[in-house]
């Protein structure tokens, strides 16, 4: 089950379509859906979490807590909609595209993809692009 929650005034459009897309991503990665909770929040909310749980005193667009067991994908994904909006401007892409990229990014981490090295980041970006294309085909 995929659920969406908000700690700010953000409302997610196309919840059912995005749920279907993310479920397809999980299946394509040969995994099974457990329970994934998306929580949309502002910079302050996510910064507090970043400091408390990861000891990073920096703004970020996403923090994910992975509870995956074997092939069953589970976790909590916290997304700062303020960071996503700023990044969309910086990368010259629509807000929705950047939001979808960040949403699938969290799922890909649960599927075992990393992004700390340049090599891993290239693979992660390639997977993100692949699945963003899948989303455009679903729409």
- What is the domain-level CATH number for residue 48? 3.40.390.30
Mean pLDDT of 109-123: 93
Annotated binding residue at 100? no
- Domain containing 58 equals 2-138
- Tell me if the pTM is above 0.75: yes
Residue 115 assigned as binding residue = yes
User: Is 130 annotated for ligand binding?
Assistant: no
Q: What is the number of domains present in the chain?
A: 1
- For the cut 90, the answer to whether the pLDDT of residue 53 exceeds it is no
Per residue in 13-28, pLDDT (tens digit) is: 899 999 999 999 999 9
Residue 139 pLDDT exceeds 80: no
Calculate the average pLDDT of the chain: 93
Q: Which residue has the tokens 């700062």?
A: 80
Q: Is the dihedral of CA 42, 44, 47, 49 positive or negative?
A: negative
């Amino acid at each position: 089950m995929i659920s969406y929650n908000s700690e700010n005034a953000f409302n997610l459009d196309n919840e059912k379509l995005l749920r279907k897309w993310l479920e397809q991503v999980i299946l394509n990665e040969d995994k099974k859906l457990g329970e994934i909770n998306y929580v949309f929040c502002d910079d302050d909310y996510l910064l507090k979490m970043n400091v408390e749980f990861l000891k990073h005193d920096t703004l970020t667009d996403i923090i994910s807590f992975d509870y995956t067991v074997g092939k069953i994908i589970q976790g909590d994904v916290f997304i700062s909609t303020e960071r996503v909006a700023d990044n969309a401007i910086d990368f010259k892409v629509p807000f929705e595209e950047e939001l979808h990229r960040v949403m699938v990014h969290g799922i890909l981490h649960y599927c075992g993809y990393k992004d700390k090295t340049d090599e891993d980041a290239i693979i992660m970006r390639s997977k993100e692009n692949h699945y963003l294309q899948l989303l455009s085909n679903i729409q």
